[in-house]
Chains A and B, each alone.
Chain A
Amino acid sequence: DAGVTQSPTHLIKTRGQHVTLRCSPISGHKSVSWYQQVLGQGPQFIFQYYEKEERGRGNFPDRFSARQFPNYSSELNVNALLLGDSALYLCASSLLSAGGLNTGELFFGEGSRLTVL
């Protein structure tokens, strides 16, 4: 079975541009989460979606947005890119426990490495 797939794997943008990152979860997983990992740090939570609804949002500005589609794939959009947005963006899917809390194992994709110049 295919794991979590992300595209593109690498991309370079300039300040002020916008970017769209895509993620396909493992078949059967209805929850998708996005994390940002700056070099040398651990992943930071950005969003969690379940059944097309946003269930959680991390401490990120409104320039960051996401959505989940009926087939459970997801997009992360970042507008007005800043140098500090350069990072590895990780998508993870999971089987949610009862109540929708994302407390179980996450299955990560290989990430999209964004460089902002």
Chain B
Amino acid sequence: SQQGEEDPQALSIQEGENATMNCSYKTSINNLQWYRQNSGRGLVHLILIRSNEREKHSGRLRVTLDTSKKSSSLLITASRAADTASYFCATASNDYKLSFGAGTTVTVRA
């Protein structure tokens, strides 16, 4: 079973627009991470936010974390065609694994 659930499952936007996706999880966490995957290839780490942080930025990415609601959001600003990919949230707790959601597929139209 998967710890996180992303919403929406799929998202189609115009180049230049912002893309927002959400992640909900069930148990307490040490941190939450976002990864990108292009066409069934390997996952690439985007950003990590610790449980005591509320917001984090990295380039065009902005991540928020609300531990009281057990939810996180990833915002990609000024999207580009190269941002077309699947995005996964993953939670890290006091064990040896990351627990991934099912992902949000983002399509950026030129």
* Chain A interface (Cβ < 8 Å from any Cβ of B): 4, 33, 35, 39-45, 48, 55-56, 58, 88, 90, 92, 100-111, 113
- Alpha-carbon distance between A104 and B2 when the two chains are bound, in angstroms: 19
Q: Can you offer 26 A-B residue contacts whose CB atoms are under 8 A?
A: A35-B100, A40-B102, A41-B102, A42-B103, A43-B43, A43-B88, A43-B98, A43-B100, A45-B96, A45-B97, A56-B95, A102-B92, A102-B97, A103-B30, A103-B31, A104-B48, A105-B45, A105-B48, A106-B98, A107-B45, A108-B42, A108-B43, A108-B44, A109-B42, A111-B40, A113-B40
Using Cβ atoms and an 8 Å threshold, which residues of chain B touch A108? 35, 42-44
Interface status of B58 (Cβ within 8 A of chain A) = no
Q: How large is the interface on B (under 10, 10 to 19, 20 to 34, 35 or more residues)?
A: 20 to 34
Using Cβ atoms and an 8 Å threshold, which residues of chain A touch B2? 41-42, 44
Using Cβ atoms and an 8 Å threshold, which residues of chain A touch B40? 39, 88, 111, 113
Residue of A nearest to B100 (CB): A42
* Chain B interface (Cβ < 8 Å from any Cβ of A): 2, 4, 30-31, 33, 35, 40-45, 48, 88, 90, 92-103
Using Cβ atoms and an 8 Å threshold, which residues of chain A touch B96? 33, 45, 48, 55-56, 100-102
- Alpha-carbon distance between A44 and B97 when the two chains are bound, in angstroms: 9
Using Cβ atoms and an 8 Å threshold, which residues of chain A touch B99? 45
Closest 6 CB pairs of A and B: A56-B96, A42-B100, A45-B97, A103-B92, A108-B42, A48-B96
Given the known inter-chain contacts A105-B33, A105-B48, please indicate yes or no for A45 contacting B41, CB distance below 8 A: no
**Contact (Cβ within 8 A) B41 A110:** yes
- Alpha-carbon distance between A105 and B45 when the two chains are bound, in angstroms: 7
Using Cβ atoms and an 8 Å threshold, which residues of chain A touch B48? 104-105
Using Cβ atoms and an 8 Å threshold, which residues of chain A touch B100? 35, 42-44
Given the known inter-chain contacts A56-B97, A102-B92, please indicate yes or no for A90 contacting B43, CB distance below 8 A: yes
- Alpha-carbon distance between A100 and B96 when the two chains are bound, in angstroms: 8
